């Protein structure tokens, strides 16, 4: 049995790969809910409270995961924070490092700690969560766009560094995903930003955002795990340093 570590919802990834799952998050209540959902599918799961912005916290938790599971074969590096919405000239200075600390430094801490254990085993598969915001910068999201662009670059570099150890590192870049809190938040804050790119009416913003997608809809979160499973699995065995866009075109 292979082991996986995830910073967020594993959905169907475990069933496709035959993994046990370690769940990491800062929120104990969210962790308990996620663990229960995984266990309901007949998959072994354990949850761990972890602050990805703290290298000490990450190192301690990753070591505990290895002690509990024996090894880590797969990593879905998925923690993130959307940040504020404002034109770059008005973007709150205090929010910029917060976004980068969670989205970039946090992802680096997890990638570094897990890859060391993978190197010892001579096997590893890693998927980092980037975003279409990192492929083409969105208006009013300077910190988030910068952070996700950095994740794509980090993925490409890590893929080169870890290839000699039979460790593949790839990324996914979701586009607009909904419905739910993150979709509603983005629509409302883009409207409040009051720029030429979107209406000040959230209902119109929603239509504008969907209208910019060739498939004319937002993505469903359940359309992400299959892509992650593909990158973690053997069907992508000759792929590393790749960023797959999940964007509806």
> Which sequence positions are flagged as catalytic?
144
Distance set, CA 13 to CA 103, 110, 224 (Å)? 22, 19, 10
Which residue do the tokens 């509603």 mark?
Answer: 184
Q: Please tell me the distance from the alpha carbon of residue 207 to that of residue 197, in angstroms, as a whole number.
A: 12
Cα 76–chain centre separation: 7
Cα 206–chain centre separation: 23
β-bridge partners, 173: 245
| 41: CB partners within 8 A, 6+ apart | 14, 15
Nearest Cα to Cα of residue 31 among 13, 10, 17, 15: 10
Q: Please tell me the distance from the alpha carbon of residue 218 to that of residue 109, in angstroms, as a whole number.
A: 31
Q: How many CB atoms lie within 10 A of CB 219?
A: 18
* Sign of the dihedral through C-alpha 84, 6, 9, 137: positive
Q: Please tell me the distance from the alpha carbon of residue 162 to that of residue 169, in angstroms, as a whole number.
A: 8
Q: What is the bridge-based pairing of β-strands 2-6 and 19-25?
A: parallel
């Amino acid at each position: 049995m292979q082991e996986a570590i995830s910073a967020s919802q594993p959905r169907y990834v475990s069933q496709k790969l035959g993994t046990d799952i370690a769940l990491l998050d800062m929120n104990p209540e969210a962790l308990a809910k996620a663990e229960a959902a995984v266990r309901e599918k007949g998959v072994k799961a354990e949850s761990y409270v972890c602050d990805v912005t703290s290298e000490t916290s990450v190192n301690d938790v990753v070591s505990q995961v290895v002690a509990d599971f024996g090894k880590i074969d797969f990593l879905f590096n998925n923690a993130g924070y959307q940040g504020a919405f404002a034109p770059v000239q008005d973007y709150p200075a205090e929010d910029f490092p917060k976004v980068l600390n969670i989205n970039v430094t946090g992802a680096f801490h997890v990638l570094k700690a897990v890859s060391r254990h993978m190197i010892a085993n001579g096997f590893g598969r890693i998927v980092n969560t980037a975003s279409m915001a990192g492929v083409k910068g969105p208006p009013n999201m300077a910190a988030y766009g910068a952070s996700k662009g950095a994740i794509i670059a980090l993925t490409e570099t890590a893929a080169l560094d870890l290839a000699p150890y039979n460790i593949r590192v790839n990324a996914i870049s979701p586009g607009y995903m909904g419905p739910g809190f993150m979709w509603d938040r983005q629509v409302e804050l883009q409207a409040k930003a009051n720029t030429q790119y979107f209406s000040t009416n959230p209902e119109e913003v929603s239509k504008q955002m969907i209208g910019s997608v060739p498939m004319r809809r937002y993505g469903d979160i359940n359309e992400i795990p299959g892509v992650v499973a593909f990158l973690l699995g053997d069907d992508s065995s000759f792929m590393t340093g790749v960023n797959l866009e999940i964007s509806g075109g």
